[in-house]
């Protein structure tokens, strides 16, 4: 660790833990809560006495929140001005006088920083943001996988609604730096709209711009032009690689500087590259060079790194960063066996203590789902959502919390779509990832568990600073049943304790019941005291809290029930507990005020002191346990708890960080029932709630008692007085809300009246490739050289054709002895290449993928010429139609990203080839015409080059032919099918829709275009994907939509694809105001 001391002193302020506030409803069934007063001395057992010393550790808070002033040094740092141009001279900004980012320990504070700002500091516990101790609870979101900027707000609102306060974001060099000297941060490639949406929502951002990002994306995000134009080893200190990434990184800096935390923006840290080893020295010096660019700019937030495992990388030495992080995917990626669990990782804490104990424990990527690969045995993302489902989230996430991690980012929280040429060959179009938010943006079965955890963490500022005390294997924690494993974390200031329990064998499905010895302000004793034990129902974890504060002055002495919400709503301290309906739980807490409502069967001799509450099995729905003018205590089953939301009430716009919890606001409410609650505001006596409805639900609200009117999406709701009387006597509202009938029974239009045209004129005798690119290179920077041929290099990237389908034409003169051609073709896993001689189909070479247990990313086949296929003593042409499935990511082989996509070997059995010509997407990566959709949208099919996939192209002269009829004459080849359909969906509705192909194996591939965007690649012979979600913004909800299918029949046989538009749900709500940006066909730049 590098420690630098600065001598000049100044002041900063460490603000207090946030005051907490919020609430909820339902119905009680079967079970009951039993409440009785108890003298705290009875809880002592035979252990520690309850005395003045013990109780004095928990002074009540009176009046305004406390403020602690801490003297911090003033850090004077000279930074260079930021150039606002999109273009940068490669090396003009570098100053290597500082070899690596400094870590400054601020004298007398215990806090460290980077010497550039005091707005982001840290200690061994957590980050300190603008004086506030913050737990970073984050989810990964890649905006480029949702190319509709208006919908980024939708994802951020769903992240915030789950109690999260941050996202982690990759930017994509391929898209932002498509060719040398071009930096493009427009449209969906922009960062500014994301930053603005984050400010609006109250979400922090850790930016991860690479240049290498991995992310199951082509070349791991490295610009394609670099893979062929740069000779030096990528991701090293090589001079030309260093020059190549300058423009992109400077562009990221230019976009980000105004949106740093210090400027009122959301960006709190920037990650250097991605998952890389610190050895050899060329790697470390590359990191150092990247860091130097940031350090010599106006970027002042900390720099981070993500070690791909327990490798101790980037903590010390050359290239070390300010804050170390480690990625972990403990469950693995075998979605084919979703019920087979890996055990939890047990050494997270000890590893962190051994390598980086003075910094907070940071997980830049913790498993939030799984990717899925091509192949007929691929299980699909629904199975991945089981493998990493709610039980996984509960056990593995809480195990992570037990390691004392305080910066956690779940990869992914929303996966999205790897549309166009975004994916690397190992994955298909969908990047759903089995995430909590599905590819089509619907909330999944995983979401409620994340929300329960998120609201607990937001409610528990004492958890942001905890010491790892020990666990039940070391004797520090005592349990009655060794099948249970419990870790103890304790806040050193408040003594609030968190006992995190799981099964000792984390993979077991057995039920384990145990009791636990706890240390509290009332002494040491065993819990539970009134029920049979704490139950772990198979794959389950729980947090047992002790000396846990809620609201302004209330305390939970202990609880075996789980905490959903703790805080203050209006003037009342509010606590929401939950548990399993099949087991019993209990809590002992202070109950203040005169109860106006008590739970069924509740009796209490006194409201003073600690009062135990027992929750018997069978409770379903919401039960009010205690309702007084000072407190509200609620309890429900876990499923009901998962239907509750706690939207924050933002400050007015004049307040800095008005929408950020702990900064602009410490106020929230509770809302139960709706599919989604996006936000809430209070103006005067009116509470305005905005959200989404799928079905009719009971809306339950706990709000400040000065609220007299509640609106849902702008419409006042009628209060159910009788229902409210069972909930609370102040600040409660209950009403039935239902979505509008406007779209009741909405059915999508049928896709009919297809127009058809042949899209492979290249195999016809009259076709001229005179305007194609001559493939005559004899050298290449790609390190994987041709296998055989005549020395010419036939790699698409060497000719600017790195993406999607590429066509090759090899000319030769034939004699009667010419019988065959050998071709080695490389396209990446799951690729295909179909070969013709003249107009005669020869065969198709098939790649394969991981889930078929037979990986093939290149083939080497002999193609025999059938009788009559050749023109003797005349020119003949071999045509190769090849799909490029993306460039590989970094791997064990150096520069694996420079994949040799193309023809690695060509040889006639006799004679030589003349010219080779190549054609990919029109204009290559330098002059492609569609600047809006970008460099990855198109390939080299004739129809693509002509723009047939774009809205407005005139197909009226084409033949009418249904898609299900396939190609004429059952031929192998490519045809374009185009149709249009109209949508009329009113504002205020979000309607997730997909284009759904037939779900059975046929020898065809197809590319799906919606309003010009390539939104899917269907490989029917491999699968598994046949359903392709497409969002509003690409779909025009109120207008004509164009859908095109490029159908590639890989065998001379009839293929019968079908395609229909399907609806996954109809939601009244949404973010609204979604704009379409679907440029129509234009002849400019096209043949």
Residues with catalytic roles = 275, 365
Which residue shows structure tokens 């029949």? 1049
How far is the C-alpha of 487 from the C-alpha of 399, rounded, in Å? 9
- Both structure tokens of 1057: 């694809």
How far is the C-alpha of 27 from the C-alpha of 522, rounded, in Å? 34
Tell me how far apart the terminal alpha carbons of the chain are, to the nearest angstrom.
59
Query: 755-758 and 832-837 as β-strands: parallel, antiparallel, unpaired?
Result: unpaired
How far is the C-alpha of 982 from the C-alpha of 1037, rounded, in Å? 8
Q: What is the DSSP string of 497-522?
A: EEEEEEESSTT---EEEE-EEEEETT
What H or E segment, with its residue span, contains residue 86? none
How far is the C-alpha of 894 from the C-alpha of 688, rounded, in Å? 57
Query: 686-692 and 644-645 as β-strands: parallel, antiparallel, unpaired?
Result: unpaired
Residue 1062, Cα to own-chain centre: how many angstroms? 25
Residue 347: what are its φ and ψ, rounded to 5°?
-115, 20
Q: What is the DSSP string of 426-451?
A: TS-SB--TT-SB-TTS-B-TTHHHHH
Residue 124: what are its φ and ψ, rounded to 5°?
-70, -10
Q: What is the DSSP string of 118-180?
A: SSEEE-SS-EEETTEEE-EEEEEE-GGGS--GGGHHHHHHHHHHTT--EEEEE--HHHHS-ST
Residue 188: what are its φ and ψ, rounded to 5°?
-70, -10
Bridge partners, residue 774, by sequence: 917
How far is the C-alpha of 622 from the C-alpha of 723, rounded, in Å? 12
Question: Measuring CA to CA, which residue among 549, 555, 546, 402 is closest to residue 17?
Answer: 549
Residue 1083: what are its φ and ψ, rounded to 5°?
-75, -10
Q: Is 654 exposed, middle or buried (0-12, 13-18, 19+ CB in 10 A)?
A: exposed
What H or E segment, with its residue span, contains residue 1034? none
How far is the C-alpha of 929 from the C-alpha of 1084, rounded, in Å? 7
Other beta carbons within 10 angstroms of residue 13's beta carbon come to 13
Is the CB of residue 139 less than 8 Å from the CB of residue 167? yes
Q: What is the DSSP string of 247-282?
A: HHHHHHHHHHGGGBGGGT-SEEEEE-SSS----SHH
How far is the C-alpha of 218 from the C-alpha of 521, rounded, in Å? 56
Phi-psi bin for 934: left (phi > 0), alpha (psi -120 to 50), beta?
left
Helix (H, G, I), strand (E, B) or coil at 689: strand
- Both structure tokens of 1054: 């009839």
How far is the C-alpha of 429 from the C-alpha of 883, rounded, in Å? 14
How far is the C-alpha of 54 from the C-alpha of 922, rounded, in Å? 76
Detail the DSSP E strand segments found in 551-649.
554-559, 562-569, 572-579, 585-590, 597-598, 610-615, 622-627, 631-637, 644-645
Is the CB of residue 49 less than 8 Å from the CB of residue 55? no
């Amino acid at each position: 660790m590098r420690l630098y001391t600065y001598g000049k002193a100044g002041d900063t302020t460490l603000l207090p833990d946030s005051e907490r506030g919020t609430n909820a409803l339902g119905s009680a069934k079967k079970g009951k809560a039993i409440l009785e007063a108890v003298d705290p001395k009875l809880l002592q057992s035979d252990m520690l006495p309850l005395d003045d010393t013990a109780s004095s550790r928990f002074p009540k808070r009176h009046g305004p929140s406390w403020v602690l002033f801490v003297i911090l040094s003033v850090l004077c740092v000279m930074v260079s001005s930021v150039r606002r141009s999109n273009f940068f001279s490669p090396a003009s900004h570098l100053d290597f006088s500082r070899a690596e980012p400094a870590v400054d320990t601020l004298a007398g504070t215990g806090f460290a920083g980077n010497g550039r700002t005091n707005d982001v500091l840290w200690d061994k516990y957590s980050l300190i943001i603008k004086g506030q101790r913050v737990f970073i609870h984050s989810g990964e979101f890649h905006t480029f996988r949702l190319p509709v900027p208006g919908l980024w707000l939708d994802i951020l609102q769903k992240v915030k609604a789950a109690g999260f306060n941050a996202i982690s974001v990759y930017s994509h060099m391929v898209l932002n730096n498509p060719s040398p000297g071009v930096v493009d941060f427009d449209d969906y490639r922009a960062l500014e709209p994301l930053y603005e949406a984050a400010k609006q929502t109250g979400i922090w951002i850790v930016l991860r711009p690479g240049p290498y990002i991995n992310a199951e994306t082509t070349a791991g995000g490295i610009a394609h032009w670099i893979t062929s134009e740069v000779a030096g080893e990528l991701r090293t200190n090589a001079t030309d690689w260093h020059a190549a990434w300058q423009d992109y990184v400077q562009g990221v800096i230019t976009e980000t500087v105004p949106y740093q935390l210090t400027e009122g923006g959301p960006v709190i840290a920037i990650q250097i590259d991605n998952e890389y080893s610190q050895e050899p020295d060329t790697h470390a010096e590359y990191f150092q060079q990247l860091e130097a660019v940031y350090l010599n700019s106006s970027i002042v937030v900390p720099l981070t790194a993500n070690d791909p495992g327990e490798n101790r990388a980037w903590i010390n030495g050359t290239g070390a960063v300010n804050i170390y992080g480690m990625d972990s995917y403990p469950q693995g990626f075998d979605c084919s066996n979703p019920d087979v669990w890996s055990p939890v990782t047990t050494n997270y804490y000890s590893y962190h203590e051994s390598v980086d104990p003075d910094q907070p424990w940071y997980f830049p990527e913790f498993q939030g789902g799984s990717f899925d690969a091509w192949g007929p045995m691929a299980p699909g993302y629904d199975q991945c959502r089981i493998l990493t489902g709610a039980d996984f989230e509960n056990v593995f996430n809480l195990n992570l919390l037990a390691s004392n991690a305080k910066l956690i980012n779940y990869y992914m929280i929303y996966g999205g779509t790897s549309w166009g040429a975004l994916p690397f060959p190992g994955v298909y179009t969908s990047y759903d990832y089995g995430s909590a938010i599905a590819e089509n943006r619907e909330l999944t079965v995983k979401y409620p568990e994340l929300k329960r955890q998120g609201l607990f963490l937001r409610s528990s500022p004492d958890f942001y600073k905890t010491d790892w005390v020990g666990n039940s294997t070391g004797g520090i924690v005592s349990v009655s049943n060794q099948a249970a494993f419990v870790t103890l974390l304790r806040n050193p200031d408040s003594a609030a304790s968190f006992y995190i329990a799981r099964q000792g064998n984390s993979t077991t499905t057995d039920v384990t019941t145990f009791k636990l010895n706890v240390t509290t302000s009332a002494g040491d004793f065993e819990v539970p005291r009134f029920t049979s034990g704490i139950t772990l129902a198979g794959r389950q974890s729980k947090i047992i809290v002790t000396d846990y504060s809620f609201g302004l002055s209330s305390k939970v002495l202990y609880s075996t029930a789980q905490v959903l919400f703790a805080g203050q709503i209006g003037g009342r301290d509010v606590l929401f507990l939950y548990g399993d309906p099949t087991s019993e739980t209990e809590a002992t807490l202070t109950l203040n005020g005169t109860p106006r409502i008590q739970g069924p069967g509740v009796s209490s001799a006194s409201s003073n002191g600690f009062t135990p509450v027992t929750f018997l099995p069978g409770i379903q729905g919401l039960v009010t346990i205690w309702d007084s003018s000072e407190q509200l205590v609620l309890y429900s089953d876990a499923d009901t708890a998962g239907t509750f939301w706690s939207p924050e009430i933002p400050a007015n716009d004049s307040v800095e960080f008005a929408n950020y919890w702990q900064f602009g606001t410490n106020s929230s409410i509770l809302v139960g029932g709706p599919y989604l609650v996006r936000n809430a505001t209070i103006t005067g006596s009116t509470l305005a709630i905005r959200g989404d409805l799928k079905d009719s639900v009971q809306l339950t609200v706990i709000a400040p008692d000065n609220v007299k009117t509640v609106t849902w999406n702008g419409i006042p709701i009628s209060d159910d007085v009788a229902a409210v009387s069972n909930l609370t006597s102040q600040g409660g509202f209950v009403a039935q809300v239902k979505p509008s009938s406007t779209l009741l029974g909405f059915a999508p239009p049928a896709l009919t009246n297809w127009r058809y045209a042949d899209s492979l004129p290249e195999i016809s005798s009259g076709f001229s490739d005179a305007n194609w690119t001559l493939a005559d290179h004899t050298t290449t920077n790609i390190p994987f050289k041709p296998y055989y041929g005549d020395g010419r290099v036939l790699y698409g990237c060497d000719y600017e054709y790195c993406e999607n389908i590429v066509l090759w034409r090899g000319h030769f003169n034939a004699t009667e002895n010419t019988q065959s051609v050998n071709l080695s073709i490389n396209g990446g896993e799951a690729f295909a290449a179909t070969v013709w001689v003249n107009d005669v189909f020869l065969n198709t070479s098939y790649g394969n993928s991981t889930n078929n247990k037979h990986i093939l990313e290149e083939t080497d086949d002999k193609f025999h010429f059938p009788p009559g296929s050749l023109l003797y003593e005349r020119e003949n042409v071999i045509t190769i139609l090849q799909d490029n499935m993306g460039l590989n990511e970094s791997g064990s082989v150096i520069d694996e990203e420079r994949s040799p996509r193309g023809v690695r070997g060509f040889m006639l059995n006799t004679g030589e080839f003349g010219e080779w010509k190549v054609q990919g997407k029109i204009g290559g990566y330098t002059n492609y015409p569609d600047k809006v959709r970008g460099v990855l949208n198109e390939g080299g099919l004739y129809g693509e080059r002509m723009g047939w996939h774009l809205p407005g192209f005139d197909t009226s002269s084409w033949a009418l032919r249904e898609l299900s009829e396939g190609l004429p004459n059952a031929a192998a080849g490519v045809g374009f099918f185009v149709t249009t359909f109209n949508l009329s969906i009113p504002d205020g509705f979000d309607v997730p829709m997909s284009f759904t192909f037939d779900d059975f194996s046929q020898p065809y591939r197809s590319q799906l275009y919606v309003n010009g965007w390539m939104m899917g690649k269907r490989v029917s012979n491999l699968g598994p994907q046949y359903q392709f979600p497409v969002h509003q913004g690409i779909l025009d909800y109120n207008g004509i939509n164009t859908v095109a299918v490029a159908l590639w029949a890989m065998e001379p046989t009839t293929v019968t694809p079908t395609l229909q538009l399907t609806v996954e749900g109809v939601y009244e709500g949404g973010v609204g105001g979604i704009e379409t940006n679907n440029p129509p066909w234009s002849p400019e730049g096209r043949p």
